[in-house]
Structure formats: structure tokens, C-alpha cells
Amino acid sequence: MRAPFFTQVAERVRARETLLVVGLDPHPEDLPRPTPTAARDWARRLMDATHPWAAAFKPNVAFYGALGPRGFEALGEVIAHAHDLEVPVILDAKWGDIASSSRAYAQTAFATLGADAATVSPYLGPSAWEPFLTYKDRGIFVLVRTSNPDADFIQEYGGEPLYARLARRLAQLDPNQVGMVVGATAPDALALVRALAPQHWILAPGLGAQGGDPAQSVWVALREDGLGALFPMSRAISRAKDPAQAAREWRDVLNRYWEEGLKRTTSPLRPVWQRWAPALQALAEGIFVHGMVQFGEFILKSGRPSPIYIDLRRLTGYPHLMRLAAWAYTRLLRPLKFDRLAGIPYAGLPLATAAALEGGWPLIYPRKEPKAYGTRALVEGPYRPGEQAVLLDDLATTGEAKLEALATLRRVGLQVRDVVVLIDRQAGASETLAHHGLSLHAVFRLTDLLEFWVDRGLLSASMARRVRQELHLL
């Protein structure tokens, strides 16, 4: 009995040191004659030339089906030849229907044609993909955010994009059977899906003819263990003068960014930011690019002067960054023991709401002043005295605002031992809070963000040096 598909792929990725999937799409203009035999022979020659650098082959069923009944026979022979070369096959079918029809599609893909995995359309809901999962040794890649230019018409729809909601649902399924298709042409979507589904394999089409940039997509798509992503290439290889050389060159391009990514997570000599997960890098870049960081002469709430002002209230205007922020908060929150999140008004309240929705935690918030009417509440939301709360805010500077919220929560009988923020400005908050029995947990430190922004070419080294000097962060 053969190994499960994703086990096969992981073993081949390691053994061949490749993330490349070679597409086997016999466009009519690429064939000497538009016949099933010509398509089969074309695919065989391409496989023979490229298999040393292929993690998998990906034939598109549409091109074979267009050749008539014998086209499917030719496709079966193509898949059999791939297996002779010991390369797993992803059938690019994009099938998905009501359960009875999907059972027939699954049988066609796996029992009739012999594919190891198939792409599946999720539009009809779970009944579209569940029949495929009855084949325990096979895999599926569900279409989540595809690489075509007009994909956003449906896939970006909604307050939370449809593709993100779908990724959340699929992330609950077995990563040994279920992967996701996310286009390399949409690196922001890649980062978000990777954050939502940290263990699942991603098939990321869109490099080559579609113009996706491997520098922006390879490391973003990979899991923290350096695996979990495959990159299909079709016309850029099949139409090359020397397909073998083209496959080798594309394998090497992918490997260059793969190796850089691995160094980011393993080398203690690398900057801290290079060990951040891809989603954190996308969040840190988005904070700067979307104008949440300003340089000049500012007076902070603490009364201190500062050459830098960070306005995370603007995050609410960028839903994709809010989702990344919520994910980042939950990474810090999950190891902590608490009963309720306590968002600090005002900047921390929408962020706490996003984190509560992401993690499924109940939310309360301490008022800045007692309610002057009605219940005259000090703390809004349901709670019981004696419960443990975690304070959540946007930034930490001196820690004074956190102590004000702490006093309010303790006044109504709530316990607090942890404070979570997105950015620690490293201006004494950690020490101040520790003096009051609180531990500060931050997604980012300001010094690491400055280094990241400089390395990404967003900030000049001289400005970063000025900020560090004036804030005594050297």
C-alpha cells in the first residue's frame, strides 16, 4: 500500500530538495496534432525531462478531456508514467458538487485515473470535498484564493473575505489529507492563510507566466518547519527551449528563497525580525506602509517627547491587517491562563475585540470613568469577582495607562497578572508593570521593528539611528 499523498510529497521535497510542481497542460498549440496520443507523448517527454527536479506533476484534466473520450485514457497513461518515475500526481480538476456527484468525481480522480491528489472547488460547501476524504491515502487541495486576476470578485467578498473564512474552516481538517490552493500572485492572502492554517500544505500557483514574485511568496507560504508549500510551473517550463534546464533553474530560484527562509528561523546571529513568522513580517510592513508610523517631534500621552509616533488606531481601516494583528495577539494569549480579555479603551478596544473573536474568548473593558447613569458600571461586560483577566492594549510606553486599567479591574474583584500589547516601545513599561506583579508580553519590540523597516528599505538607517539615540535604545 502506498504512503499517504502528503507523506509522499514531504519525503520527495526533502530527498530532491525541491518545491517545484511541473504542470502537464497540453495546450493545442503545443501539440503537433490535437490528438490524445500526441498529448500523452508530449506529457511523457516533459516528465522524462523534468522529473529529477519535480516534487510532483500536475496535469490539468480540461486539456485531456477536450480531446474526447480517449483523452481521459491518455490522462490515465500520463499518471501511470508519472508513477513509473516515482513522482506523485496532483490532478488539477477543480471538481466539487453535491455529495453524490462529488463521490463520482472522487472515484474518477482516484480510482479510475489513479491520481494521488486533486484540486477541489468548495463553492457548494463541505459536501463538495468530504467524499474525497474517504480515500485515506490521497489528498486534496481546496481552492481558497486563486491566482487569476479577477479572483477578488468572489473570493475577497465580505467584511472578512470569503477566502479567509474558508481557510479557517479548512484549518480544522486533517492536514495529512487537506491542503489549500492560494495564488502566489496574492502574497498578502498567502500570509493570512498561512497564519490561519499553520500546519496545512499550500499549493501556490501564479509564478512564471502569471507574474507572481517568488521573493514575495515563497517564504510567506512555507510553514515554520520550512515545508508545507508547493509552487506549480506550467508554460514557463513546457514552452522553454530546454524544459529540463528551465525546471532546474526554477527549482534553484525557489530553493534560494527557501534557504533564506530557513536561515531566518534557525540562525541566532540573524536579526530578530528574520525569525518572525511570515504573517508577522506582513503585519510589521503593513503598519509602516499604511501610515501608522510618523517621524518628527511629538509629545506622547506620558508627556515624554518622542521622534516617532505610532498610531495603531488606524489599523481598523485595514481589515487584512486587523486579522493579522488578531492572529498575532492569539499567539501570545494561548499559553496564558485567564478567563476574560480586558481591552483598554480606546485604541486597545477594537484590537481586543478582534483578538476575542479570533480566539473565542469573552471580552470586557474597564471604563475610563464610571458610568454616570444606568448601572454606573466601572467595567463593561459579564464577569465574576475572582476571575483572571488579561489586559490587552495597542502599545506599551511607560505602563501608566495599564496601571489605571489594573486599578479599575481590581476594584471590582478581578485578578490580573499579564498584559499583552502589539508593540513595546521599550520605555520602561516592562519594569513598571513587573513592580506591580504584572508580566508584559509584546508581539514586537520597537528596536526590532526599526531594524526590520531599515532592512526592507522602508526607513533610512540615519532616521532609525536618530530614533534609537533620542529614545536611548542603543
* Contact in structure between 319 and 306 (CB atoms under 8 Å): no
Alpha carbon distances (Å) from 259 to 111, 161, 253: 37, 32, 10
Q: What is the largest CA-CA distance in the chain?
A: 83
Set of cell numbers at residue 8: 509522499
CA dihedral of 442, 443, 448, 450, whole degrees rounded to 10 = -100
Q: How far apart are CA 192 and CA 185, in angstroms?
A: 14
- Residue 386 CA to residue 123 CA, distance in Å, equals 46
**Count of CB atoms situated within 10 Å of the CB of 305:** 11
343, 325 contact by CB (below 8 A): no
Query: Of 339, 386, 334, which Cα lies nearest the Cα of 364?
Result: 339
Q: How many angstroms separate the first and last alpha carbons of the chain? A: 60
The three-class DSSP label of residue 339 is: coil
Residues designated catalytic: 94
**Partners of residue 415 on adjacent β-strands:** 388
Half-sphere exposure of 416 (CA within 13 A, CB side): 32
